[in-house]
Amino acid sequence: MTSDVGTRDDRVRIRRAAVYDIAATVLLLLSAAVGWSDMLLLVSGSVVPGWALCVALLCAAGVLVGVRAVRFRPGAPRRSLAMGIVRGVAITAAGLSCAAGALDELGAEYYVLHPTGPDGCTAVVRETSFLVLGSGDVYAVGPSHIGWRPSGSWIADDGHRPITAGTYELHWNEREGHGSLSVHGTETDPILSGGVTDVHCGI
């Protein structure tokens, strides 16, 4: 009888430990996916870029791993070889994606444009410059507060940043439910492509 109880307890411990292992691995895979994506999150008017979300998910996975180690110590159930391999790949992918995303953000600035459009649709802009070119991406962020990908972009000469410089116009069409962002350069620093961008949270 004692042996049967002990066996049942071991099985329960293994199942519970597996839940932590699977949850941590899922978070690591999500972290890797977010880090390589172009998404962003808008929280209370502040922009959280993809690389920061990547780091947050990576840290959450680390917390789960730590909780597993503490909760099932001593004699924590060992992970399967397959789970160990998947975990290793996921950790590597998440770490690389977070690092790559953070490097890509060097020199980038985010702006939440006003006014907002229909149903709270918000235009969020990411501007950066490299060598002699400036570039920008505009996101349409709706009620979910998530910008999954840019709805449009532009390139300007000589590192010009139209949002930073204030050389832009944002108009909303309340009836049609979308907006239009127009960016302007200068005589010496023109917009090379993408001067007018649609902002549509319904997409």
- Taking only the tens place, the pLDDT of each residue in 97-118 is 999 989 888 889 999 999 999 8
**SS3 annotation, 147-199:** ECCCCEEEEEECCCCHHHHCCEEEEEECCCCEEEEEECCCCCCCEEECCEEEE
Distant-in-sequence, close-in-space partners of 30: CB < 8 Å, separation ≥ 6: 57
What pLDDT, on the 0 to 100 scale, is given for residue 6? 53
Q: How far is CA 20 from CA 42, 95, 100, 107, 137, in A?
A: 29, 20, 27, 38, 38
What pLDDT, on the 0 to 100 scale, is given for residue 81? 72
What pLDDT, on the 0 to 100 scale, is given for residue 1? 46
50 touches 32 (CB < 8 A): no
What pLDDT, on the 0 to 100 scale, is given for residue 4? 56
Q: CA quadruple 181, 189, 105, 46: dihedral positive or negative? A: negative
203 touches 149 (CB < 8 A): no
152 touches 87 (CB < 8 A): no
Token pair, residue 54, equals: 């990547």
Taken as a whole, the chain contains a residue count of: 203
Helix (H, G, I), strand (E, B) or coil at 141: strand
- pTM of the full predicted structure? 0.81
156 touches 195 (CB < 8 A): no
What pLDDT, on the 0 to 100 scale, is given for residue 185? 87
Counting runs of H as helices and runs of E as strands, what totals does the chain give?
4, 11
**Helix 2-36, helix 81-104: angle, nearest 10:** 30
Digit-by-digit pLDDT tens for the chain (203 residues) are 445 555 776 677 778 878 888 899 999 999 999 988 889 999 988 999 999 999 999 999 999 988 888 887 655 556 667 777 888 888 999 999 999 989 888 889 999 999 999 888 999 999 998 878 889 999 999 989 999 999 899 999 888 899 999 999 999 988 777 889 999 988 888 898 888 888 988 65
- Taking only the tens place, the pLDDT of each residue in 60-88 is 999 998 888 888 765 555 666 777 788 88
* Residue among 114, 104, 122 at smallest CA distance from 50: 104
What pLDDT, on the 0 to 100 scale, is given for residue 76? 58
